Amino acid sequence: MSRLTPQNEAIALEIISRYPRKKSALIPLLHLAQEQDGYVSDDAMRHLAELVEVTPAEVIGTCSFYEMFKREPVGTYLVNICTNIACQLLGAEELLHHAEHALGIKAGNTTSDGLFTIEDVECIAACTEAPCLTVNYRYFYKVDGGDFDAIVEDLRSGRQPTRKAAETGPDGHIPPHGTLALQRQHIPADRVAGNADPDSAPAPAWLEQP
């Protein structure tokens, strides 16, 4: 896809200005790129490299370390199905199998309409509610095949799921993959914490050689 749009580049510059060193802004900027395109494209990484004055190789080094940065396009809805032990004992393998058949794709792939990607993931920390899955990182607890079909059916027809995801607020809204927040953080210039020059700060005591 593409470099950051002019609007997003302006946001990127604001984010960069919050940090004493430009490259410290890299992870928020990767989120911004993923929010724009749904994934982090090579061109976006090149653009970020220019903005924070590092090489593209350094950007991809950081980006590829984090599972949640996708470097290939994924569906509008990223469905992560946990198959670790607690979920597995309560039917996660069957759930994953059902999901693969229902969507006609293997885990790790995206439906041809670009709506859904299924991933077989490690523990997502909701063992008490097993088996569980997330859609764009919104939790659905104690899910069976029927629940999965209902969620997919709702999303496919453009509705928010009838069954609300846990802890998503009253409307249960699931924004497209990559969306960080509905309200963007904006720090007015007069309220930005002063950026001390890290090189002129005294070294911490524990770094002093004996």
Closest to another protein by CB, 14 vs 43, is 43
Q: To 10 degrees, what angle do helices 26-37 and 6-17 make?
A: 160
Closest to another protein by CB, 54 vs 166, is 54
Q: Calculate the CA 203 to chain-centre distance.
A: 35
* Other C-beta atoms lying within 10 Å of the C-beta of residue 35: 19
Q: How far is the CB of 167 from another protein (least distance, A)?
A: 28
Closest to another protein by CB, 94 vs 122, is 122
Closest to another protein by CB, 64 vs 185, is 64
Contact string (CB under 8 A) for another protein, positions 30-69, x = contact: ------------x--xx-------xxxxxxxx--xxx---
Binding status of residue 210 toward another protein by CB under 8 A: yes
Q: How far is the CB of 203 from another protein (least distance, A)?
A: 14
Binding status of residue 108 toward another protein by CB under 8 A: no
| Amino acid letter, residue 171 | D
Q: How far is the CB of 65 from another protein (least distance, A)?
A: 5
Q: How far is the CB of 60 from another protein (least distance, A)?
A: 5
- Which three-class secondary structure state does DSSP give residue 126? coil
Query: Do 40 and 74 form a contact (C-beta atoms < 8 A)?
Result: no
Closest to another protein by CB, 158 vs 210, is 210
- Which three-class secondary structure state does DSSP give residue 179? coil
For residue 131, cis peptide bond before it (omega within 30 degrees of 0) = yes
Looking at residue 165, the DSSP 8-state letter turns out to be: P
CA-nearest of 132, 155, 140, 125 to 81 is: 132
Q: How far is the CB of 36 from another protein (least distance, A)?
A: 19
Closest to another protein by CB, 112 vs 209, is 209
Extract the tokens encoding 23.
Answer: 């490259």
Residues contacting another protein: total by CB under 8 A:
16
Q: How far is the CB of 66 from another protein (least distance, A)?
A: 8
Provide the H-helix boundaries in 66-205: 85-89, 92-103, 145-156
Distance CA 46, CA 14 (A): 19
Residues that bind another protein (CB under 8 A): 42, 45-46, 54-61, 64-66, 209-210
